[in-house]
Amino acid sequence: MIAWRADRRAKYEGFETTAGNALSWPDQYLPTAHPMRSEARNFLLMWAWCEAGNDTWRGYCRKRGWSRTTADRWRKWAAEQIAAGINEAIRRATRAARGA
The residue ranges of every structural domain in the chain are: 31-99
According to the model, what pLDDT value does residue 5 have? Answer: 45
Q: What is the mean pLDDT of residues 56-73?
A: 95
According to the model, what pLDDT value does residue 2 have? Answer: 44
Q: Which one is predicted more confidently, 76 or 14?
A: 76
Q: CB under 8 Å, gap of 24 or more: what pairs does 26-31 form?
A: 26/78, 26/82, 28/85, 29/81, 29/82, 29/84, 29/85, 29/86, 30/78, 30/81, 30/82, 31/81
pTM for the structure as a whole: 0.69
Residue 82 has pLDDT above 80, yes or no: yes
Q: Which one is predicted more confidently, 23 or 3?
A: 23
